[in-house]
Amino acid sequence: MSDQDALTPRVFLVRHGNLKEINTGFKVYITGRRIGPSEAQVSSTAATLVGAGKLLDPSRLAHIFISPRRRARRTFELLLLSPSFGAADWKEKITYTEDIAEWDYGDYEGLKVGEIRKLRKERGLDQEMEWDIWRDGCEGGESMQRVSDRLDRLVSQIREIQRPHMNRGGAADVLLVAHGLILRCFLKRWLDFSVDFPLQMMLAPGAIAVLSYKNNNIEEPAFHLGITLPLLGERGKR
């Protein structure tokens, strides 16, 4: 971990583990409220990247925001609620919030993307352009604007948590545990891009992404293209 990493607060995005029961992923099924995570994926991430002196060091966390959905809650349990940390230690730092819940797919829940596009065209919609969730939202569910509004609230909360800690280090990191599509939306709003900005991203189930601030400046939100891990001899010192 570099000196700048130690002084600049970070935001960790953790996508819940993959779903066992159905073959998911936005390009296959639109799913917002289904099933639980594959525990092996998340446990492997936790063993490798979570712990004292590791990438996600629990002692450096100021707050944790979790989607209320069951698979996000279970993912958090596998990441941090081990006997060595203890659930009681985290109670005051945790917020379960709909602001980071998955996009509400409304009438499209459980449908394949191709099925949604076909249904819409049969109803006279999207004759010039294919349906795109980023731009068009979901009937009976959420629009792009509604998703943007709730994510902007969360971004503002995080900035207020981290603002006093710029250039000071300590327990100022924030953790988000949520879902693939909404976390990609969050990254766009973090960078002040619109939700439908064409930024191609991938976030594997059980993976961790890292956001922060360029030049230790809260007015310059950024994301890490790559990160360095703490040296073995430094682990546990911070």
Q: Which amino acid is at 99?
A: D
- Yes or no: say if 21 and 33 are a contact pair by the CB < 8 Å rule: no
For 221, the token pair is: 């939100």
Helix (H) or strand (E) holding 94: strand 94-96
Check if 102 is active-site: yes
Catalytic position from the list 16, 63, 142, 179: 16
Helix (H) or strand (E) holding 80: helix 70-80
Check if 16 is active-site: yes
Distances (CA, A) of 76 to 16, 59, 100: 8, 16, 14
Give the integer Cα–Cα distance in Å for 230 and 27: 36
Query: CB neighbours of 72 closer than 8 A, spacing ≥ 6?
Result: 16, 66, 177, 178, 179
Catalytic position from the list 21, 39, 92, 102: 102
- Yes or no: say if 177 and 184 are a contact pair by the CB < 8 Å rule: no
Which residues are known to be catalytic?
Answer: 16, 102
